[in-house]
Amino acid sequence: MNNEIDKLITNVKSGNLNDFALLYQKMSKGVYALAFSILGDKPLAEDAIHETFIRVKLMANSYASGTNGTAWVLRITRNICLNVLKKRKFEVNFSTNEQSPGFESIDHISQKPEYAYDKKNEFENSIERFVLKEALNKLKDNERQIVLLYSVKGLKHHEIADLLNIPKATERWQYRSAIGKLKNLLKNY
């Protein structure tokens, strides 16, 4: 998978636009899984996919061929999503306080975007969506990102650890914890 994505991005870098389309086809599910796991909001996640692939195309020249293309694309997605959360925080701050924003906790927002979860009534219409909603609500942020990224079958554990910049063993641990919680949640399903 990784070699394939690396090759596709390298080809995009050389101007092969059909490979850009192929790259979208191969990566969009993973990008959506990550964006949704961070933002917890479908329209925002949709914007994040859009923005990710625009940036991938514009920034392809900066991609170091032979490295981990999957992680490169998903890192772009992650930055976009965290910026979205950060800008939301800015908006809130600026509307309540016109002075210097001071020392704000972006990490809090990126880890606990509860405000976004409140908007997900759209996921109550099917079992799968219900499951997804439950997963979002019950899992910790890293757990949610890890299990969704892993479930889309595009990423290996060590790639997820690299992407989230956490030790591989921690990633395994959090994955295991997420699976454990989901087993409990889905007992009656």
Long-range CB pairs of 130-134 (<8 Å, 24+ gap) are 131/185, 131/186, 131/189, 134/185
Rounded to a whole number of angstroms, the minimum distance from the CB of residue 59 to other proteins is: 7
Residue among 92 and 152 whose Cβ is closer to other proteins: 152
Classify residue 157 by burial, with Cβ atoms within 10 Å: 0-12, 13-18, 19+: middle
> Of the two residues 9 and 36, which places its CB atom closer to other proteins in the complex?
36
Q: Which CB atom, from 96 or from 105, has the smaller least distance to other proteins?
A: 105
Q: Using CA atoms, how far apart are residues 33 and 145, in angstroms rounded to an integer?
A: 8
* CB closer to other proteins, 118 vs 144: 144
Smallest distance from the beta carbon of 70 to other proteins, in angstroms? 14
How far apart, in whole angstroms, are the C-alpha atoms of residue 189 and residue 183?
A: 10
Cβ-based nearer residue to other proteins, 1 or 22? 22
Q: How far is the CB of 92 from other proteins (least distance, A)?
A: 13
Nearest approach in angstroms of CB 107 to other proteins is 5
> Is the Cβ–Cβ distance between 109 and 85 less than 8 Å?
yes
Min CB(117)–other proteins separation in Å: 15
CB of 123 to other proteins, least distance (A): 8
